[in-house]
């Protein structure tokens, strides 16, 4: 109907003098107060409201993109709707449109401003969803083109690309109905990972170990996927996950950081601690991962940022996904290596070549850096604090050390864990974890801890020659683990989730561990990392100057 909004300003100077950086909001009355210039300008679309899965990490990227584009002589227009971000500060951008991040609202801003190009890489998944509409309306999407974005997001197209490049992927299927999903899972074999398409933060992702569990999970998965299909992936039990952040200019590729997750596969990357450089991977595995990233970046002709995720099982490398956008690990990788990834990505998107940009990597030669998630479980005491494919953390800290153990200890303390060096370590493990936990329990014993465990776990530890006190399950009466938690007798709880039988007892133990401030570990690799941290005995105090 030819009806368009106009834009009124929120005067950031309260009328005392002319506001040079006002906010604008849309309305359907009066004359527009937005004065459009003819200078070279770039529009950056932000990430919208902070929520689990899409938070301040993306605003970090937006801010660094703004700073670099300004430095390169561009007027920078930001579209975002979150007043609690730095990108919406009054003095950050040339112009801020405080609008919802829908195509309808963003298209009106683009109609008014007529930018040189639009940056959709820095705002997480939200801007990517409208990238094709931006391009279809005749605007230039700066960086990686929309077809490449779709190849990365569409599992079938990405699988074909991976096969063409000689990269392994776990077996998977694409399902448009419940019946297709159940049939696909029976062919692939359980356990399977249920993944909606085009979501962030692991929304509605679940690991199904049988048909009954899969049937329960599918309804939410299809609801989250909307018009897109649901993915059924073969779940690689016991694998190690890897995150890689890279930058490309369409020709050359710079691999900024290879990050090894501490927790096993199946834990959302945002909920897993991770280390730069990797602390257990063999050098030839790291080299194979880097080669895979370079192949993907060149095949997609990425311009700007690229995040790839891999799984390593028995030294075999599997590619899980590739995202041609900023990831939540970009701030961590930037600080750990002293390479401002978002700024360099902006330079690449605006036409500069990587070979002309001085890329000096620091921070990872003499130091390890560990990112540790922070969880809100103490505020939600009815929630079972067990981790899985759906993201639950609400923040993160990072620690440095001259060894992985030092860095992990520093980050654990920074995340608020009350790490003790003596007392009881309580273990209650699922059957598949009991043997692999024996050397870890031995490590805690050698560090001076006493061991306590439920009957089945204690039997395995005693057979291995480790003295261990038997603690009753909650359903067996007192004294049990909950009694010991209330008496503040435990220094650490290692409890790996199991099936539907004793899970109620386990959930109660996990919740009370958080309530009483006892560090809780829910997988074996995390327990190993904590043992290394305590073995290090200390953590380094490092100045920022030493790292940069």
Domain boundaries, the chain: 6-142, 171-234, 243-361, 377-536
Taking a C-beta distance cutoff of 8 angstroms, is the pair 146, 352 a contact?
no
- DSSP secondary structure letter of residue 365: S
CA distance 352 to 350: 6
- Indicate the pLDDT class of residue 296, thresholds 50, 70 and 90: very high
Bridge partners, residue 395, by sequence: 374
Question: pLDDT at position 503, please?
Answer: 64
Tokens 């604090």 locate to 385
Please determine, looking at this structure, whether the domain spanning 377-536 carries the CATH number 3.30.300.10: no
At 352-397, the pLDDT tens digits run 999 999 886 554 457 899 999 999 888 887 888 888 888 888 889 9
Classify domain 6-142 at the CATH class level. Answer: alpha beta
pTM, two decimals, is 0.91
CA distance 467 to 445: 9
| Mean pLDDT, the chain, whole residue set | 90
Q: What SS3 string covers 459-472?
A: HHHHHCCCCCEECE
Q: With a cut of 60, say whether residue 526 has pLDDT above it.
A: yes
The CA distances from residue 208 to 11, 205, 390, 464, 470, in Å, are: 53, 10, 13, 33, 32
Selected from 3.20.20.370, 2.60.260.20, 3.30.110.40, 3.30.470.20, the CATH number assigned to the domain covering 243-361 reads 3.30.470.20
Structure tokens at 219: 């309804």
Taking a C-beta distance cutoff of 8 angstroms, is the pair 337, 257 a contact?
yes
Q: In what order do the strands lie in the sheet with 274-276?
A: 316-323, 303-313, 240-249, 253-264, 274-276, 368-374, 395-401
- Indicate the pLDDT class of residue 340, thresholds 50, 70 and 90: very high
Which secondary structure element, helix H or strand E, spans residue 222, and what is its range?
A: helix 211-225
CATH superfamily, domain 171-234, is ATP-grasp fold, A domain (3.30.1490.20)
For the ranges 63-77, 264-278, 472-486, 487-501, the maximum mean pLDDT occurs at: 63-77
At 426-437, the pLDDT tens digits run 999 989 899 999
Helix axes 341-349, 330-337, angle to 10 degrees: 110
Bridge partners, residue 208, by sequence: 192
**Is 6-142's fold the same as 243-361's?**
no
CA distance 310 to 298: 17
Q: What is the dihedral of CA 538, 544, 547, 548, to 10 degrees?
A: 180
Question: pLDDT at position 501, please?
Answer: 38
The string of DSSP letters for 442-506 reads HHHHHTT-EEEE-HHHHHHHHHTT---EE-B-GGG-SSBHHHHHHTT-EEEEEE----SSTHHHH
Tell me the average pLDDT across 78-104.
88
Q: CB 430: neighbour CB atoms within 10 A?
A: 18
Q: With a cut of 90, say whether residue 153 has pLDDT above it.
A: no
Q: With a cut of 70, say whether residue 264 has pLDDT above it.
A: yes
Taking a C-beta distance cutoff of 8 angstroms, is the pair 198, 132 a contact?
no
Q: In what order do the strands lie in the sheet with 230-234?
A: 172-175, 230-234, 192-196, 206-208
Question: pLDDT at position 363, please?
Answer: 45
Taking a C-beta distance cutoff of 8 angstroms, is the pair 102, 130 a contact?
yes
Under DSSP, is residue 19 helix (H, G, I), strand (E, B) or coil?
coil
Spacing of C-alpha 403 from chain mean position: 23
Q: With a cut of 70, say whether residue 162 has pLDDT above it.
A: yes
Q: With a cut of 90, say whether residue 169 has pLDDT above it.
A: yes
The string of DSSP letters for 178-208 reads HHHHHHHHHHH-SSEEEEESS-STTTT-EEE
Residue bearing the bigger pLDDT, 542 or 79:
79
CA distance 61 to 476: 52
């Amino acid at each position: 109907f030819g009806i368009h909004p106009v834009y009124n300003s929120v005067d950031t100077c309260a009328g005392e003098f002319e506001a040079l950086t006002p906010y604008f909001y849309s309305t359907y009355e009066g004359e527009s107060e937005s004065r459009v210039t003819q200078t070279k300008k770039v529009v950056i679309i932000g990430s919208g409201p902070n929520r689990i899965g899409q938070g301040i990490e993306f605003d970090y990227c937006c801010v660094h993109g703004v700073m670099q584009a300004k430095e390169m002589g561009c007027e920078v227009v930001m579209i975002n709707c979150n007043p609690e971000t730095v990108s919406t500060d009054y003095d950050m951008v040339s112009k801020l449109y405080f609008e919802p991040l829908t195509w309808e609202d963003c298209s009106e801003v683009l109609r008014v401003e007529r930018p040189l190009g639009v940056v959709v890489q820095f705002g997480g998944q939200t801007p990517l969803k409208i990238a094709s509409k931006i391009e279809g309306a005749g605007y230039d999407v700066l960086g990686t083109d929309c077809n490449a974005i779709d190849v990365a997001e569409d599992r079938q197209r990405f699988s074909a690309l991976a096969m063409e490049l000689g990269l392994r992927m776990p077996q998977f299927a694409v399902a448009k109905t419940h019946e297709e999903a159940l049939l696909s899972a029976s062919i692939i074999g359980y356990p399977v990972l249920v993944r909606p398409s085009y979501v962030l933060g692991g929304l509605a992702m679940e690991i199904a170990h049988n048909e009954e569990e899969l049937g329960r999970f599918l309804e939410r998965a299809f609801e989250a996927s909307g018009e897109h299909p649901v993915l059924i992936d073969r779940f690689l039990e016991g694998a190690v996950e890897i995150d890689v952040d890279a930058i490309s200019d369409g020709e050359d590729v710079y691999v900024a950081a290879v990050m090894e997750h501490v927790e096993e596969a199946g834990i959302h990357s945002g909920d897993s601690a991770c280390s730069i450089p990797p602390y257990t991977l063999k050098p030839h595995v790291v080299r194979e991962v880097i080669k895979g990233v370079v192949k993907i970046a060149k095949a997609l002709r990425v311009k700007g940022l690229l995040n790839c995720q891999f799984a390593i099982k028995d030294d075999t490398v599997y590619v899980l996904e590739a995202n041609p956008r900023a990831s939540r690990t970009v701030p961590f990788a930037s600080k750990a290596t002293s390479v401002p990834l978002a700024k360099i990505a902006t330079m690449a998107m605006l036409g500069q070549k990587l070979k002309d940009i001085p890329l000096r990597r620091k921070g990872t030669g003499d130091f390890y850096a560990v990112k540790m998630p922070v969880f809100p479980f103490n505020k939600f005491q009815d929630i079972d604090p067990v981790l899985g494919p759906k993201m639950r953390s609400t923040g993160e800290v990072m620690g440095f050390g001259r060894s992985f153990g030092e860095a992990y200890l520093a980050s654990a303390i920074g995340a608020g864990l009350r790490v003790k060096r003596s007392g009881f370590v309580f273990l209650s493990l699922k059957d598949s974890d009991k043997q692999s936990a024996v050397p870890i329990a031995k490590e805690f014993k050698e560090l001076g801890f006493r061991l306590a465990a439920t009957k089945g776990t204690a039997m395995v530890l005693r057979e291995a020659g480790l003295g261990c006190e038997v603690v009753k399950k909650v359903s067996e009466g007192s004294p049990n683990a909950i009694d010991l938690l209330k008496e503040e007798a435990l220094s650490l709880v290692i409890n790996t989730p199991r099936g539907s039988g004793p899970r109620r007892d386990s959930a109660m133990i996990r919740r009370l561990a958080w309530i009483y401030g006892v560090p809780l570990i829910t997988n074996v690799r995390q327990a190993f990392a904590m043992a290394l941290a305590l073995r290090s005995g200390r953590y380094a105090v490092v100045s920022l100057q030493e790292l940069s």
